[in-house]
Structure 1
Amino acid sequence: MNLTRRRALFIGATFIGGALAARSFAAGSAVSRWSGQALGAHATIELAGADGALAQAVFAQIEREVSRLEAIFSLYRGDSALSRLNRTGELAAPPPELLELLALAGAVHRQTDGLFDPTVQPLFALFAEHYSAGKRGMPDVAQVEAALARVGFDAVRFDPEQVRFERFGMAMTLNGIAQGYITDRVAALLRERGFSNVLVDMGEIQAIGSGTEGNGWRVGIRQGGGEDGISKRLMLTDRALATSMMLGTVFDQAGTTGHILHPRTGVASRFNARASVVDQSAARADALSTAAILMDSRQIEALRQEGVELYL
């Protein structure tokens, strides 16, 4: 069924310090709502301009797609492709979506001088275990160094036959890129269903079309740092927005040790509190915003000189 440009979709996810999407639907449009989970985050979908049967069919397809992708990327599902890779250090016949994401991760890894590195999972696990045990202060230096020895995306090999780690004890987390990838996939699914004016927000935002008023989808970037309000307003047309915050998730009860770890030093000695990136790909914006948290002013400027639209 072909859908007109007057039909619009808003997908919202509950998350801290990300982007706020303006809910703007055609006057009088009936709204159908769905809520569920995507990579451990609560997600809601509000669909305007489609009858109940069409809305339910779209929701069911999105739910199946999110579940299918979680079966590849999730760290919380023991049977996911990523979990199996982490357990054994190799994965035969990897799903094409995993290969696509690893290729993108490798490109951003090179572009950011290694600051974006999915193989920080051993380091993440060390900090998570340390603080969940009620310990105070940082983990032991020797433990951190041992975990760092197992970090390095350069030691990941992948092709259609196999993904493998070249160092014993390596593991990956794709949390800094997979949320954006799922956002892109849901947006692609909606395009295929004929939705040409869509705002998708599942933690990262993908704007399709020019919004209900024709001048772009209006989004705002939160101030962060515990402050309410909007620091930057943007109008997005056929572009994605991703936001990362160092203290959006923390390890310790005091809320001082953030979840974005430095692949060469462990805890970052300095960092940017928040970084937002606009790109055609939500996955790429997701990865770049994660790396930008760890960048100094010179590295930030270098990214901007390359054409990356980045806000701190």
Structure 2
Amino acid sequence: MLKLLKSGGWLLGGVLLIAAFADFRKQPALKAFHVNGFAQGTTYHIAYYAPDSSLTRFEADSIFHSLDSSLSVYKPYSLITRFNREKRGLVPDGHLKKVVLKAQEVSKASAGIFDITVMPLVKLWGFGPDGRSKTMPGPQQVKEVLQYVGYRKLYFRGDSLLKKDPRLTIDVNGIAQGYTVDVIADFLERRGVEHYLVEVGGEIRVKGRKQPSGEVMKIGIESPPGKDEDPENPVLIRTVFVKGGAVTTSGKYRNFYQNGNKKVSHLMDPRTGYTLHNEMISVTVFAADAITADAYDNVFMGMHLGEAFSFLKKHPELKCYFIYTKKDGTVADTASAGFDAMRVRQ
């Protein structure tokens, strides 16, 4: 979980030269605007600095409604729900098309660790819109479901999004929240806003600086809650400074249930059909935009630590922070060099 720390502000400097001989005029003063609410099963917080209001609560809620109507597997009227009911496929809207294209790109890059066709497994293991199952799935059930899971079974032909198996269904929850953050950020930029922070469910995208002080945005990363810790009062384990880009986190501690002594996470491995079992506890990713960060925090959760650092060498545009369990059972953390550099005030 990510949290914006309240401190300082920024100043958009000075003056604008509009004539050859020192004819200066002041830029309009920037005011702070805040839009907060509840959407997509979580809270959202939008802060931006502009001469006048550029995004109202009504406009924000309209954006969320539009996105839910396209991407929410919890809405019976949504486009993605319609696709999942179709035997062959349908023509997607702009939102669904962009999200699926990005998902397929990340699936290919990660050799299938990230895969939005995982929906049947999500339901089999008791997550998703149908709620908890009363019994754990057996090996034969997992094997049967895997027959119609796999990103290569999903494809575009012309304007249509199609499935190779009529039983194939998709779940974009692992990427949709990041996309939502980008949609709101892009809305602000089209309105000429140059300084903002958009946060939805802990997924954050930043541009510019606080006003009027010019201070770089500071983002706190929360420690996974311990057994006796209050999840409503998390402990900040690390702070980074972000001038532009997105920071998102995925963790096994966010959505799980106990089955005897076994913790069953909502994070699935679409290659095996079982929930993830590795040393990763949480992964925080920095990328240029939130849809990329959101997709890849799931990818890294599916890797061992050594694999993750090898992957990062091939993808220097990504910066990561890992919390993991060591072989002796103790919890440790580490970060890529690029992420560590973000701890320095800029």
Q: Which of 234, 243, 259 matches 2:240?
A: 234
Q: 1:206 to 1:32 in 2, by over 3 A?
A: closer
CA contact (8 A) 1:118 1:153 kept: yes
1:20 aligns with 2:27: no
CA contact (8 A) 1:94 1:160 kept: no
Distance 1:277 1:217 in 2: 16
Kindly state the Cα deviation for residue 225 of structure 1 after the two structures are TM-superposed. Answer: 4.6
If the length of structure 1 is used for normalisation, what is the TM-score? 0.84
Kindly state the Cα deviation for residue 160 of structure 1 after the two structures are TM-superposed. Answer: 4.6
- Tell me how large the CA RMSD over aligned residues is: 2.5
Greater Cα offset, 259-268 or 236-245: 259-268
Kindly state the Cα deviation for residue 58 of structure 1 after the two structures are TM-superposed. Answer: 2.3
Q: 1:115 to 1:107 in 2, by over 3 A?
A: same
Kindly state the Cα deviation for residue 46 of structure 1 after the two structures are TM-superposed. Answer: 5.5
| Identity fraction in percent | 24
- Where does residue 279 of structure 1 map in the other structure? 287
> How is 1:35-114 mapped onto 2 (pairs within 5 angstroms)?
35-37=37-39, 39-45=40-46, 54=53, 58-114=56-112
Q: Deviations over 1:111-137 (max 9, x none)?
A: 1121001111100001117982433xx
Instruction: Report how many residues are paired.
Output: 289
Distance 2:195 2:43 in 1: 23
- Where does residue 118 of structure 2 map in the other structure? 120
Distance 1:158 1:78 in 2: 23
Q: Which of 269, 293, 308 matches 1:300?
A: 308
Distance 2:141 2:209 in 1: 51
CA contact (8 A) 2:88 2:164 kept: no
- Which SS does the other structure have where 1:173 is aligned? coil
Gaps of 5+ in 2: 11-30, 323-346
Distance 1:143 1:78 in 2: 26
Kindly state the Cα deviation for residue 34 of structure 1 after the two structures are TM-superposed. Answer: 3.7
Gaps of 5+ in 1: 1-17
When Rg is computed on C-alpha atoms for both structures, the one with the higher figure is: 2
- Which SS does the other structure have where 2:174 is aligned? coil
Distance 2:42 2:100 in 1: 22
- Which SS does the other structure have where 1:128 is aligned? coil
Per residue, is there more strand in 1 or in 2? 2
If the length of structure 2 is used for normalisation, what is the TM-score? 0.76
Q: Deviations over 1:32-55 (max 9, x none)?
A: 554231x2223344667777xx37
Per residue, is there more helix in 1 or in 2? 1
Kindly state the Cα deviation for residue 233 of structure 1 after the two structures are TM-superposed. Answer: 1.1
Distance 1:235 1:198 in 2: 14
